[in-house]
Amino acid sequence: MIKRLDHVAIAVKSMGPVLETYRRLLGFSDVHIEDVPQQGVKAAMLPVPGAEIELLEPIDPQGAVARFLERRGEGLHHICLEVDDIADELARLKATNVPLVDQQARPGLAGNVAFLHPRASHGTLVELAQKTGREPKPGKPPPGITGLGHAAVVVKDMAQAFRTFATILGVPVDGKALERPAVKLGFIKLGNSDLELLEPVDPNGDQARFLAERGEGLYHFCLYVADLPQKVAALQKAGVKLDRVRPPERPDMAFIHQDELHGVPVELMQAGWHPR
C-alpha cells in the first residue's frame, strides 16, 4: 500500500548556495545532511510537516545524480513514496511488467528503497521507501510552512497518465480532469499530499514549452503556507521573482520563479485551499 508522498528530491551542483537560498526565501534552517556513498551523493533533508524536501549533491562524478546534472542541469530529480511493504510492492509491479531500476530493495536514507525506471511513469523517477526506524529524525519545519501540497508531472495524455499511475500506485483513480486555459489538471491522492498531472492545452504555455524542450516529467512542487498574502508581500519586498500570483489583491497561490530556486519552480498555496 502506498501511504504518502515522503519527499521530493532536487539535484544540485553545490549544497551550500542552495541551502542558503531555501533558508533565505522559505525559512529552512533545521537541516540534516549526510553522505550516502552507495548512491554517490551528499543529501540534505529539509523538513516539511508530514514530508521532506531532499537536496542531492553528487560526490561520485560517475554516479546517477552527477550524470543527471550533466545532462539536464539542476532541477527536480525524483519523488519518493512511502510503502507498507516494499517487497510486496516490487512483486506487484514486476507482475504487471512495470520497468524497474532495482529488482529488490536496498538501504537508503529514506529506509529500504527501490526505484522505478522513469519510462514506467511518464519520465518521472519514482522511489519507493519502507521505513526501518533507522532513518534520520526530521528537524523542525520553518515557521509558516504547513505541508507539502503536491508534486506536479507534465504529461502528454492525461487519460493515459491516470491509467499508468493507477497501475504503479495500485489504487483506483477517478480520472477526472479540470479544464484551465493553459492546461488540464488531474489529481491523485497520496496521503496528505497529491500527485498533480498537467496536460498542456495552450501550445505557447509554460507546460507546453517544458514538454517540447524536456519531455514528460517532474515540473514543480507545492508548499502549503499559513498566511500566503503575507509571504508573497515579504518576497515581493525582497525583490524575489514571482509568477502567477492569483488573485493579485489577496493571493491564494503564487510561484517562486525557477531562476530563484536553482531550476525548480515552487508553488506556494494558501493552507486549506485546493485547486479542485
pLDDT digits (tens, 9 = 90+) for 158-197: 999 999 999 999 988 889 999 999 999 999 999 999 999 9
Q: Are residues 74 and 152 in the same domain?
A: no
Last residue of a domain, one of 130, 159, 186: 130
Position 46 scores a pLDDT of 98
Q: Are residues 167 and 239 in the same domain?
A: yes
User: Is there a domain that residue 135 lies in?
Assistant: no
CATH number of the domain that 224 lies in?
3.10.180.10
Position 108 scores a pLDDT of 93
Which triple of cell numbers denotes residue 152?
Answer: 506536479
Q: Are residues 214 and 259 in the same domain?
A: yes
Domain count, the chain: 2
User: Is there a domain that residue 214 lies in?
Assistant: yes
Q: Are residues 86 and 179 in the same domain?
A: no
User: Is there a domain that residue 62 lies in?
Assistant: yes
Dist CA 145 CA 223 (whole Å): 7
- For the entire predicted model, the pTM comes to 0.96
List pLDDT tens digits, range 141-166.
999 999 999 999 999 999 999 999 99
Cβ burial 146-160 (10 Å sphere, 16+ → b, else e): bbbbbbbbbbeebee
* C-beta separation of 48 from 226 below 8 A: no
Q: Are residues 202 and 243 in the same domain?
A: yes
In the chain, % of residues over pLDDT 70: 100
Q: Are residues 73 and 97 in the same domain?
A: yes
pLDDT at 13 over 90: yes
List pLDDT tens digits, range 267-276.
999 999 887 7
* C-beta separation of 178 from 185 below 8 A: yes
List pLDDT tens digits, range 42-67.
999 999 999 999 999 999 999 999 99
Last residue of a domain, one of 106, 130, 154: 130
User: Residue 241 sits in which domain range?
Assistant: 145-270
pLDDT at 115 over 80: yes
User: Is there a domain that residue 139 lies in?
Assistant: no
User: Is there a domain that residue 87 lies in?
Assistant: yes
Which triple of cell numbers denotes residue 236?
Answer: 515581493
Q: For the chain, what is the mean pLDDT? A: 96
DSSP label at residue 156: S
pLDDT at 223 over 80: yes
